[in-house]
Structure formats: structure tokens, C-alpha cells
Structure 1
Amino acid sequence: MKMKKSTLALAIMALIGSGAALAVPLGGTSNSAGVAVGASNHILFGGGNSGVALNGASTRIDLAGGPINGSNNAIADHGNGAIMTPSDMGMPALPINVAQVWKDTGSVNGAGSTYANFAVNSIRQITTLSIAPQFGGLVIGQVAANSSGTPASPVVPLAVGNGVYFGEWAPRAVGTPPANSTNLNMTDTGRTVWYVGDNPVANNSMPTLVNAVYGVIGINQTGTDAVGNVLPGGLPGNQSFYTGELTANYASGAGGITGTIDRGSSSINFAGTSIGSDGTFNNGSTIEGRFYNNADALAGIYTGGASAADHVAFGGSKIAP
């Protein structure tokens, strides 16, 4: 019996030390055929943390350990707009241009001096690997640690185990992608918005919130179209986000979210959005999402508008009180 208990204790310690998420990642998507979310389980990019299955793939790649890590490595070596190779992904060094990658940051200032900060990776696939799903473009927003007085520099995304991710995906266009381009194919009708997090509020564990303010950004249509016109979301690496503050109240099994996130004349109003005891929120038609990390962060999607081009993925962190 002592041997079995010792083995169990060692197994638990190994699990904690590995950085694997103890909670089950949860989220949502506007189109599960484009992006399905959940715990990562890919043979190379797995680990049980927040993951996405792209374009109907049978397994989910680990967002932090896969595309985010690979693109950050390439950018660190060669700058924004770098070409990511297999070696950037921890694989054998082969002369293959896997993807073109960019990184951007964003911040939202609350009524006080606290800033919500965000890191955003944009990835345009060039060469399809047999171990990776096909796609045209993948944009991944990450909720980062708050800062005081000024936007964070550098931005530090929430650690694995508490990671909160949101973004957009588009299928691969017909033909061979060029070696250098800012077209992520986000005008395609199959464009999908999604969100997922490592440590969701769930199982009737929604904490009480009293006028909790969240700094939020939204991602929508990054890049250019096939003929070079810049889309509303700006260029990868120099994006135009929706930004704003949302206020949440919750107690005794009921609550709601108010406020807007805006980009120029475009506005998404959260009036009528209710909060459930399981940490989810929705307005019954166009807005859905979830709280994470004991409601210190949130993420979700907006699916209103005339078409998939209008859909927005958003995320945020609590900046007051």
C-alpha cells in the first residue's frame, strides 16, 4: 500500500511540475468545422492545455506550445514578417518555409491607472506539413498580465495553466501561397472566430462580481485581400482592434454584462448579456463567452452582422476594482 501511495504522489507531483493544466480547457467557436476548441492532444503539440483542431482535423494542437512558440522563435531571430521553419517549431532543421509570422500587442486603460495588456500572433501558412492541419491564416490573441501606469513593455502573456486565447481562422486559398504576403484569406466565407482558456470558471463556481471592469480587445479580419486591399482589422503586426471596457455584476445565481467595444464607427453592445452560474455569458443570439481564472479574465465571440466577415473574437482582463 505504501508503494502505491508513493507512486501516486510522484505521479501527481510530475503532473504539476510538467505545467499541464489541471482544469479542462473550455471555450467556443462560430464554426466547429473550421475551428474546434478543447484540450490539446496532438502527438507533437499536445499537453492537455488550450488547443484548437483546424479544418476538421482529428487532433487539437497546443496553442502555446505549437503556433505561438514557433512564431515567437522565428520573430525573435528574424523580426516581424519572418518565415517560420521546422526548427522554430522544435523539429529537425529542414529547408521548408512553413509559415510567415507576425506579432503585435494591444492595451486598454481603465478609469484608474491599470492597463489590460494583450499579445497577438498572426500566422500565414505557406507549406502544409503532413503533421499539421491546413489553413490560410490563424490569428491568436492572448490575455496578458495587467500593468500599472503605462502599457506593459514587454507584454507578458498569462502562463500556461491560466492561458486565455481568442482569435480568427481562415481556410487555405486555392493555389500555391506566395513566399511573402499579408493576405491571410480572412475574406473567405469559411472564416471562423473562436476562444478557449486553460482555467475556466465552471460547475456553479462563478464568483460574486460588483461593478467589475474588464479591459477588452476584439479581433476581426486581419490582413489584406487577394488584390492587396487592407482589411478592417489592419495588417498583421500593425492591427486595428476593437477596444473598450465591459462592466460585470453577478450574485446569487444571476448577473449581466454592459458596455461596448468599438473600432471607429463599428460598435458591439453587450446590453442584455446575462451571466450564468457556470461562468458562461450570452445575450441569447450574437454574443457568447466565458470567464476564466476565478473571473479575472474573460473571452468570447460576437457572431452578429451580415456575414462571417463581421464576426469578432474578444478577450479581456479585470482592471477594476
Structure 2
Amino acid sequence: MKKLLALSLLSLATSGAFAADVTGGSSSAYVEALPSNLLAPETAGIAMPTTVGGIADPAAVVSFQAGPIAQTNGVLSGYGTSSAHITNPYNGVVTSETWKNKVAYDTEVYAYRQIAAPSTGFPQFGGEVIAKVAGAEVYFGEWAPVKPDPLPGNSTDLNLGSADRTVWYVGENPTTSMPTLVNAKYNVVGLSQYAPGTAGGVTSGVLTANYGSGSGTLTGTVGAINFGGTTIASNGSFSRTTQIKGQFYGANADALAGIYVNGSTKVAFGGAKQ
């Protein structure tokens, strides 16, 4: 852990320009999908506020794999609904409570509840949920601001009932030129107000992609979301009005991720080709 934080500080001081092979989106200015500049540079991550009440700070983007996921794996050896605490090795302060679970389609879900302020210059991760698509560096999840005076011990309240809750998606190697797809099936998981103590807030379904001659469609359902009317563009993105937006990943469009926003209903989703 001590080495992890030391490498983080070094990376913050020496980070370079953002790479072009990481892309994604979010439902608010509190989160921005970007290549990391903390820990493993230019890998998938998200910018979050570095001050309470602020918006996403692109100067502090932590690599998922080398940052929070590595920290969780260091304190939790298996999957389940029990939690563990992550401690700052320099001052002994417990900074977060974390969970690790595996849900439908081998999708790993990591959750974090901020207990104490992070080190200066690092994100206010608040209540954060990170889901990883099996077999791909593709992620989707939720973020909410830290609760005032968070409980120091154990609690499953990630503050995901906040009006500022944000859903997001991000991945490496986005599809930039769509291949021909004929009834390609994707096993997809959705997250909405994930409950780490019970693994509630998880839905699943199968989406079907058809693409050729410069246009395509994405159909099917994930939970209560019907994807009818969603169109695929030649650059690998897909959308439906302002409700659905997302991206395929990999040269063969082997994975996808995105968000659904309809009023107060906000869902992040992702999955891999069957």
C-alpha cells in the first residue's frame, strides 16, 4: 500500500498528455471519462472532483486497475457482500470501506464508500461503483458525492440516492471503424443505485447488434430498459435521442458500454459479445 501511494504521487507529478485510445461518457460534469494520469498512465479511469462540491478535475485521473481495484484486491481475497477497510499507510487513517462481488456474466463489481478525505490532489470518490466487463478493459458505474460526516465504521450507504448521482462508462481501445455484425449478441449488466451489502441494483439482459453499409441498430432489453430505436454509427458509438449513449470496444466490437438517462432514472451498463 505504501508503495502504491508513493507511485501515485510520482505519477501525478510526471503525467503526460491524454491518450486517444480511451473514451467514454457520463451523465454530469461531476465525472469525466479519461485516460489515467495517476498510477498506470493512459489506462481507463475517470476524473472526479478533488474538492467537495466541485466538478471533475482532469488533473487527477486514477487508473482503475492500478488504483482502487488493486487496493480492494489487497484487502479482499474473494467475492461476496462483506466489506473491508482501506487505510492510508502514512497516517493510519481509514479512508474508505470497499466491497468486491461478481454478478451476471462474470462482471466484477467494486464499490467504495469514502470515510475520510483523500490525500491532497486525489479525487473525492464519495460513493463510487466500478463494474468491469469480463475479458476487456471496459468499465461502467456510478458516482455520488461523499455524505457529510460519514460513519467511521461499517455502512452500506454510498449516498447513491443523491440528486447528483452520476452514471458513466469508459474503456480502452474503442472501436473506431465498425465491423459488419449480423445478429451479434451481447450479455449486458446494468447498474442503478448498487447496494453493496446485498448486491442489489443489478439488472441484466441480452442486446443484439446489426451493422452494415454504414448504419446499424442495437436492440433488446436490460432490466426495464428497451433499446429499440438505438442506432449504431460508423465510429463505434451508439445512441438514442438523449436517453442512451455508448460505445463499442475492440477492433471486432467485442464489448460495449454506455449509459441510460431518463429523468431521475440513470443506469450504467456494459457487456461482452457472446
TM over 0.5: yes
Question: Are residue 27 (structure 1) and residue 24 (structure 2) matched?
Answer: yes
For 1:190, give the aligned amino acid. Answer: D
Give 1:132 deviation, angstroms. Answer: 2.0
2:61 aligned residue = 60
Unmatched runs of 5 consecutive residues or more in structure 2: 1-17, 50-55
Which entry has the higher C-alpha Rg, 1 or 2?
A: 1
1:13 aligned residue = none
2:60–2:121 Cα contact (<8 Å) kept: no
Distance 1:41 1:217 in 2: 28
* Of 212, 237, 260, the match for 1:302: 260
Distance 1:176 1:106 in 2: 27
- In the superposition, the TM-score normalised over structure 1's length comes to 0.73
Distance 1:174 1:83 in 2: 19
Question: Are residue 283 (structure 1) and residue 244 (structure 2) matched?
Answer: no
Distance 1:243 1:22 in 2: 31
Question: Are residue 274 (structure 1) and residue 231 (structure 2) matched?
Answer: yes
* Of 22, 34, 40, the match for 1:38: 34
For 1:132, give the aligned amino acid. Answer: F
User: More deviation in 282-291 or 21-30?
Assistant: 21-30
Give 1:301 deviation, angstroms. Answer: 0.1
Give 1:200 deviation, angstroms. Answer: 0.4
1:242 aligned residue = 203
SS of 2:77 mapped into structure 1? helix
Structure 1 residues 281 and 97 mapped into 2: Cα distance closer, same or farther (>3 Å)?
Answer: same
User: More deviation in 135-144 or 57-66?
Assistant: 57-66
Give 1:63 deviation, angstroms. Answer: 1.1
Give 1:178 deviation, angstroms. Answer: 3.0
SS of 2:193 mapped into structure 1? coil
Distance 1:78 1:84 in 2: 16
2:182 aligned residue = 210
Structure 1 residues 195 and 77 mapped into 2: Cα distance closer, same or farther (>3 Å)?
Answer: closer
Question: CA-atom RMSD, angstroms?
Answer: 2.0
Aligned length: 247
Distance 1:240 1:193 in 2: 13
- In the superposition, the TM-score normalised over structure 2's length comes to 0.85
Structure 1 residues 236 and 269 mapped into 2: Cα distance closer, same or farther (>3 Å)?
Answer: same
Structure 1 residues 172 and 48 mapped into 2: Cα distance closer, same or farther (>3 Å)?
Answer: same
Distance 1:171 1:259 in 2: 32
Q: Sequence identity of aligned pairs in percent?
A: 43
Q: How does 1:53-202 map to 2 (within 5 A)?
A: 53-55=47-49, 56-57=56-57, 58-76=59-77, 80-86=82-88, 92=89, 94-107=91-104, 116-129=105-118, 130-145=120-135, 158=136, 163-202=137-176
SS of 1:181 mapped into structure 2? coil
1:89 aligned residue = none
Distance 2:126 2:62 in 1: 16
2:114–2:150 Cα contact (<8 Å) kept: no
Give 1:60 deviation, angstroms. Answer: 1.0
Give 1:199 deviation, angstroms. Answer: 0.9
Distance 1:239 1:60 in 2: 28
SS of 2:36 mapped into structure 1? strand
| Residue-by-residue CA offset, 1:115-173 (whole Å, 9 max, x unaligned) | x321000011111122421132100000013xxxxxxxxxxxx3xxxx00000000012
| Residue-by-residue CA offset, 1:36-69 (whole Å, 9 max, x unaligned) | 1111013xx3410011111222321111111111
Structure 1 residues 177 and 286 mapped into 2: Cα distance closer, same or farther (>3 Å)?
Answer: same
User: More deviation in 175-184 or 121-130?
Assistant: 175-184
2:271 aligned residue = 316
Distance 2:241 2:150 in 1: 41
* Of 210, 214, 217, the match for 1:253: 214
Runs of 4+ in structure 1 deviating by more than 4 angstroms, as ranges, are none
SS of 1:220 mapped into structure 2? strand
